Structure 1
Amino acid sequence: MRTLALKLDRASRTSLAEQIRLGITGAIEKGVLVPGARLPSWVDLAAQLGVARGTVKTAYDRLTDAQLVVSSRAGGTRVSEHAAVASPITERARSIESDLRSELYQHFLPGPAVFQMGVPASDCFPATLFSRLRARAARDEVEAPAAYPDPRGEHELRREIAAHLALARGIECQPSQVFITAGCSGALGVALRVIQAEGLKAWVENPGFLPSRRALEISRLTTVPIPVDEDGMDVGYGEVLAPDAAVALVTAGQQAPLGPTLSLARRVQILEWATRTGAWIIEDDYLGELQLTRRAAPALASLDRAGRVIHIGSFSKTISPTLRLGFAVVPPGLLARFDEAVACLASAPGPAVQMATAEFMRDGHYIRHLRRMKRIYAGRSQALLAAVRSRGFHAYAAGLAVVARLPDGADDKRIAREAYAYGLAPAPLSGWYCSAATQRSGLLLGVATAIEHQLPAACDRLQHLVRKFS
């Protein structure tokens, strides 16, 4: 039930009851009141507007006669499910159309849609189990004495993450070095505040994840695009082009979006550069151990002996992005500054979701879930790759995506926008590049949302769109 912002003109020749009817009708038609929305009672609305109850009753009766609202003793007065409401759909469509045209917000489209990247397979998640853990954690939170939670995150989750990273990513750290954040972007935001590199240069992968690159620019760093080849970021190129850079942002485990792992030689090279110059390396471990074609390469932070790597990750790809749970693993030399930053600027998300996730990890459910998802994703990747190649695309697997190269001149952004109307959400590869001069045309097809029985129709539609806009 909501308060209605109705304005009455008591000097008008139109009766007050009719003004109320017209105001509510307009709110329904504009989508301010959606089907099923509950209207205030006669008593409440009469008191709000300063009119007689009978005046409101007359207005409601007219709305009922027009089949715009329905009334019941138990449910009160609600907007009819069959009321003519065109604007909300139009506004939603406009919003999605705007996001499709925004290179930044293409990464946050509603879904899941076939080929959508960045989201896990919801059809394979142990939802019942995790829902039970969350419900219990929420109940415990409500029943506990009211107190401010630790802004660094719940100790139980920090402990579980530290233990998991030691086994799965080769990182030796204490729970005190783990900070819980609002997703991976939250971890990156805190890191950029702490290292205080305003006005300095930062290496970024080209191509690379646009939201992360924009985060550096918003933090007033000058981004320096570094090309990527089969060995990952070209560290030598960076040392020549910008040896004085203060930050390097790298996806060492599996480069986003092209897929190569940063080679051992380049890992040693970038660590030596950071140690020598005092630069900071932010390792975005966005996939963690979800590397499908081989055993997951250890994290870059596992080789860091000088304390120059800030390792960030999240549960968005492994559990769900709706948790908004990320983390940063911080070198000992930055602990005090991180403590201060999260206490004052970026406290951890609520305790309930943290405690549920900690229990999910502690009882072994998380590692079993990861093993199962690797098998499922590997199968989906192979099926998607075969389906795409059979339709003439030059394609290869890259992490939790398949990269489909397009002919020169193909408008991958237009193709992606058109595909969304058919329930498909490929990402245009060109949007990941730092400049038009280096752009390559292609489509990134998410593996997690590529369910096998949907592939023939989806790939046929994609093939048609590529031919149309190439």
Structure 2
Amino acid sequence: MDLSPWQPSREPGTPIYQQLYLRFRDAIAAGQLRPGDRVPSVRSLASELNLARGTVEQAYQILVGEGYFLARGPAGTVVSPQLANLDASRYASTVVSAVRSSPYTPSENAPPLPFQMGLPALDAFPRKTWTRLANHNQRAWGALAMRYPDPVGYAPLRRAIAAYLGVSRGIVCLPEQVFITAGYWGALGLVCRTVLNPGDVGWYEDPGYIFARQFLKQAGMNVQAVPLDAEGLNVALGQERCAQARFAIVTPTHQSPMGMAMSLPRRLQLLDWASQQQAWIIEDDYDSEFRYHGRPLPALKSLDRDERVLYTGTFSKVLHPGLRLAYLLVPPSQVERFRQSAHYVGGPGSMLTQATVADFMEQGYFARHLRKMRVLYAQRRSYLVTALEQEFASRLQVQAQAGGIHVLANLGPQENDQALAAAAQAKGLAVQALSTWQMQAGTQRGLLMGFANISDQNMAQEWVRRLRLAMNSG
């Protein structure tokens, strides 16, 4: 493989690890690298390009986590053979581009776009505290931070997460059950590698988190749409359509994107199905911390008596997505199985970052930050809802929901939400259409809007006024 054109730019801008990631991804999409092709080792590529091994390793971890690469231990790393059954160029444009370079995703140095989803309140992050903790770890660790990190995660962070889950989410667990991953994709990738096989059928909430669906498809899974009702995933319909499914991926505490919580009878029904079928439930607890009325609801995992729930959480919404850290909690009987797999999927990355998160949690800053954010987000949501009601009257009906950092504004069935969202995106507004989150065509039409970075009522009014003008011209 000729590496001469791969020399990254040293100018300020895109980080070097991300440049490498993008070049490998684009080479796969263009067919220059084919499924099964072996790629250079971290050591050899770092030497060839005169880069730090940690930089190359970070790029490889992302590529493994997103399913482009498959790590085979001593046999080296190859382009995932599963890509042979997929249109890699189409996947690159629909999944990766949608996350990183869509028309309404800002550049690295730009502020968040209006209504951008998936971002916490970046202006409210405790930067001074974080910088102090990070600098302390940098000095304390010194050369030790240059070692290979533990592929299952930094032990004090695993302990802190286990303690947090016990107090906040009602989950009794040991640190050994917690696996730190390179973002949510890393957690899903570890699940797919360890307990699933290409071709396995799984239930997917419809509508549901679009990028999880695309990731699972890219990993070779057969995703079966299961509709929702007021109680969440319709388990009876899932059993009717595909009783033999091997897994179900759900957001029971705060359904993404509709916002309802799965009822207790429905949760028990889902757990009973998984136990009978020996199927896995992947619980995505992505933003349960942000509930504005009462305490956060217990996790589905807290009801799991038959060890069928694989629980995922992320720091992207509660801290910031730049950390690229998530975690996976597995049943005690599966710890060794997942530990073996973790050695071949790249691990969670820098120990310094993990150590800073651990200190942030252990020293009480995490709980304090969450309390502050619940109050702040309740206020910022009210800014947006008030502005929408004033500007749109009855055209948009904001759906009531008890938590989260986005709102769903329902439209009438005669409205084309995708056309309206496209018109808004053309004006720099990061609105998303509800219908694009559905697998099966339905009558639900709506607009999804993030509100975490709305600082005051005037900003909300200005954003919503721009949205109304864009929709009227679209």
Q: State TM-score, norm by structure 1.
A: 0.76
Q: Deviations over 1:285-317 (max 9, x none)?
A: 001321223421100000001100000011000
Partner of 2:119: 119
Residue correspondence of structure 1 range 166-245 to structure 2 within 5 A: 166-245=166-245
> Once superposed, what is the RMSD of the aligned Cα atoms?
2.5
Distance 1:270 1:35, change over 3 A: closer
- Aligned partner letter, 2:462: A
Distance 1:419 1:138, change over 3 A: farther
- Aligned partner letter, 1:241: R
- Aligned partner letter, 2:308: R
| CA distance, structure 2, for counterparts of residue 249 and residue 337 of structure 1 | 20
| CA distance, structure 1, for counterparts of residue 437 and residue 443 of structure 2 | 8
| CA distance, structure 1, for counterparts of residue 141 and residue 418 of structure 2 | 45
Partner of 1:395: 398
Residue correspondence of structure 1 range 302-381 to structure 2 within 5 A: 302-381=302-381
Partner of 1:75: none
Partner of 1:416: 421
- Aligned partner letter, 1:331: P
Give the stretch that moved more between structures: 190-199 or 113-122.
190-199
How far did residue 324 of structure 1 move? 0.3
| CA distance, structure 2, for counterparts of residue 262 and residue 192 of structure 1 | 24
Equivalent pair of 1:288/1:313 in contact (CA under 8 Å): no
Q: How many residues align?
A: 378
Q: Deviations over 1:81-115 (max 9, x none)?
A: xxxxxxxxxxxxxxxxx99x947644442351121
Partner of 2:44: none
- SS of the residue corresponding to residue 344 of structure 1 reads coil
How far did residue 439 of structure 1 move? 5.8
Partner of 1:465: 470
Structure with higher Rg: it is 1
- SS of the residue corresponding to residue 137 of structure 2 reads helix
Consecutive unaligned residues of structure 1, counting only runs of 5 or more, are: 6-31, 37-97
Equivalent pair of 1:203/1:247 in contact (CA under 8 Å): yes
| CA distance, structure 2, for counterparts of residue 446 and residue 426 of structure 1 | 8
| CA distance, structure 2, for counterparts of residue 459 and residue 137 of structure 1 | 43
| CA distance, structure 2, for counterparts of residue 265 and residue 463 of structure 1 | 41
Give the stretch that moved more between structures: 226-235 or 262-271.
226-235
Partner of 1:426: 431
Q: Deviations over 1:425-460 (max 9, x none)?
A: 11221111113x226322111120223221111111
How far did residue 198 of structure 1 move? 2.3
Distance 1:457 1:329, change over 3 A: same
Give the stretch that moved more between structures: 227-236 or 362-371.
227-236
Consecutive unaligned residues of structure 2, counting only runs of 5 or more, are: 14-89
1:164 aligns to 2:164 (yes or no): yes
- Aligned partner letter, 1:313: G
Equivalent pair of 1:190/1:346 in contact (CA under 8 Å): no
| CA distance, structure 1, for counterparts of residue 304 and residue 340 of structure 2 | 24
Distance 1:126 1:195, change over 3 A: same
Residue correspondence of structure 1 range 45-84 to structure 2 within 5 A: none
| CA distance, structure 2, for counterparts of residue 146 and residue 456 of structure 1 | 49
Partner of 2:450: 446
How far did residue 196 of structure 1 move? 2.2
Residue correspondence of structure 1 range 8-27 to structure 2 within 5 A: none
How far did residue 174 of structure 1 move? 0.3
- SS of the residue corresponding to residue 179 of structure 1 reads strand
Equivalent pair of 2:250/2:283 in contact (CA under 8 Å): yes
| CA distance, structure 2, for counterparts of residue 141 and residue 422 of structure 1 | 47
Equivalent pair of 2:170/2:299 in contact (CA under 8 Å): yes
Give the stretch that moved more between structures: 286-295 or 231-240.
286-295
| CA distance, structure 2, for counterparts of residue 288 and residue 407 of structure 1 | 29
Give the stretch that moved more between structures: 374-383 or 415-424.
415-424
Equivalent pair of 2:285/2:311 in contact (CA under 8 Å): yes
Equivalent pair of 1:180/1:349 in contact (CA under 8 Å): no
| CA distance, structure 1, for counterparts of residue 319 and residue 452 of structure 2 | 12
- SS of the residue corresponding to residue 343 of structure 2 reads helix
Equivalent pair of 1:285/1:312 in contact (CA under 8 Å): yes
- Aligned partner letter, 1:433: Q
- SS of the residue corresponding to residue 451 of structure 1 reads coil
- Aligned partner letter, 1:438: G
Give the stretch that moved more between structures: 213-222 or 294-303.
213-222
Q: Percent identity?
A: 38
Equivalent pair of 1:342/1:348 in contact (CA under 8 Å): no
Equivalent pair of 1:247/1:281 in contact (CA under 8 Å): yes
| CA distance, structure 2, for counterparts of residue 364 and residue 105 of structure 1 | 37
1:290 aligns to 2:290 (yes or no): yes
| CA distance, structure 2, for counterparts of residue 33 and residue 349 of structure 1 | 22
